[in-house]
Amino acid sequence: MTNTRALVTHRTNRLLRLLTWQEGSALVEFALTVPILFSFFFGLIEVSLASYCHQVISESAREGTRYAMVHGSSCQTGSGTSCTVTASAVNSFVAAEGWPNLGGGTMSANTTFPDGNQAAGSRVQVTVTYLFPFRVPFIPPSTLTMSSTSVTYIVQ
């Protein structure tokens, strides 16, 4: 009986040592936490990139209204020719500004004249829309639609 009790005690002690064995636990903890940390880190990068892209489209809308503001119906070049701008010309100007597209999305501009004409004192409105592809590990990819509008009065 003593031999059986010693065997049970030996097996119990061995089982307790296996349960409290610490070798390799750091590797398991590392493997469990790294994907969470990387997802958080890359998510932070994507949010920062989205914020940057929103600032870029806001500035693009402002630049479009500035361009249209000085190219109203009374605009003339030094040689006396008309330099009146159209909605499509403002849209092309905004698209050709050359801001870096770090987000990899698509940008479109829409120009309207809410007062119906391009005369001095009338308003011009430029709306820039950007489709930001939001990609974070372990989260399904999606598209975030951002928009910025700028309105100003035509001065000439």
Write out pLDDT tens, residues 35-76. 999 989 999 999 999 999 999 999 999 999 999 998 877 777
Token pair of 79 as six digits: 């040689």
Token pair of 99 as six digits: 């801001």
Q: What is the pLDDT of residue 126?
A: 96
Q: What is the pLDDT of residue 20?
A: 67
Q: Which pTM value belongs to this model?
A: 0.75
CA distance 146 to 130: 5
**Residue 2: pLDDT band by 50, 70, 90 thresholds?**
low
**Residue 121: pLDDT band by 50, 70, 90 thresholds?**
confident
DSSP state of 82: B
Q: How far is CA 106 from CA 2, 93, 120, in A?
A: 81, 16, 32
Does the pLDDT value for residue 111 go beyond 70?
Answer: yes
Q: What is the pLDDT of residue 3?
A: 66
Length of the chain: 156
- Per-residue pLDDT, averaged over 85-91, amounts to 89
Beta bridge partners of 146: 130
**SS3 label, residue 125:** strand
Q: What is the pLDDT of residue 21?
A: 64
**Residue 29: pLDDT band by 50, 70, 90 thresholds?**
confident
Does the pLDDT value for residue 147 go beyond 90?
Answer: yes
Average pLDDT over the chain, rounded to an integer:
85
The ranges assigned to domains in the chain are 24-153
Q: What is the pLDDT of residue 18?
A: 64
